[in-house]
Structure 1
Amino acid sequence: MPQSLCGRSTRTGVVCNLEATKKSFLKDTWRVAIDGFETEGAIYHLLHRRAVPHIAGVERSGDVQTAQGTQTQTRTQEYKSRSSSGDHMHGHVHYRLILDVVGEEITQFQSTCTFVKAVIDVLEAHRAAYIRCHILHRDVSVNNMLLLPSGEAILIDWDTSWNLKKDVKQRREARTASLSHQLG
């Protein structure tokens, strides 16, 4: 259950493709609807094109469609133009992302060596994303590091990342890292 009325109502889980008998990771969320802002799937594709290591592959991603073929989106912003804090309220679009891997939380490591290697993998991913793509993850936390059966760790949850080549005002309005990360 979400801890706040504000947020993306993200739900995750393991899904199975019955034809391929393969498990995958599903993320069901409500992304901020701002024109020109990359979806999480698009960010993953950019990271892969630039050969950023320790990143999950995307099997599928996209906006959830209604029966009429339109985006499923919020309407609250149509009725309230400003939040109580004075910030503009943005709409949200229902979005799903399926990653090609299923891992364990990084806290499930079996040895200190495994843990240290996992942290190094994640730092390499973040460094390469910054150098090759000008992207900062902005929420590197135990919740966003997965340990794969191979021993490799991957950095997931790029939806709060910043593309440093984009307009600063647009980034600030659209991306907010998890509350635990913001509070330290």
Structure 2
Amino acid sequence: MDPQCSGQDIMRCFLCKNDVAPLHCRVCFLHFCGDCVEKHTSDKSKVHNVVSFRQLLSIPMCSVHPTKQCNLLCEQCNSPICGLCISSEEHKHHDIVDIWEHCKNNQEVIRRDLQELDEIIYPKYREAASTIPARRADAEEHTPKVKAALKNQGESLHTEIDLIIQGKLMEIDDINSQILTAIDREEETLNETIKEIS
């Protein structure tokens, strides 16, 4: 298999086609080896911007002006922009800061956050996690006791309710007996009166 045609082949120089190409021209979108860069930049019809692949991947290119690097940041839009974007209507009254300064500040904030996470938050979570087995065992031990106590309380309440209901049933029977006795007397009185009237 020809290494020049292989999909797994390394990036080759655009001019000499043989050497590995560790450099990239952002204006022409071509790759070059160290020897051929001078030949490429000798063309004065353009202002070439040759960077290493590491730089190419670390510095974003402007989505509006593809040949320009985004070395600024619009704080309102929270997006990288190039020098030409500053004068556009979209960013006219926005706060613009140097992207590297912003990254440096963010790195400091992230470093502090990581330190707080490492020294304060993580130990608290580890401590909380270490109590879980004891809490689980405690819950497993106490749940049957609570259930047994509730069952006993329920039985006690049922006994008490049964006694109250029995007492109320006896009261009802007693009242019913008194009512029936009163009705019987009234019936006797009425029957005697009816005899007398007859």
Could you say which TM-score interval applies, normalised by the shorter chain? under 0.3
- Greater fraction of residues in strand: 1
TM-score (norm 2): 0.16
Larger radius of gyration: 2
**TM-score computed with the length of structure 1 as normaliser:** 0.17
Q: With a CA cutoff of 8 Å and minimum separation of 6, indicate the structure with the bigger relative contact order.
A: 1
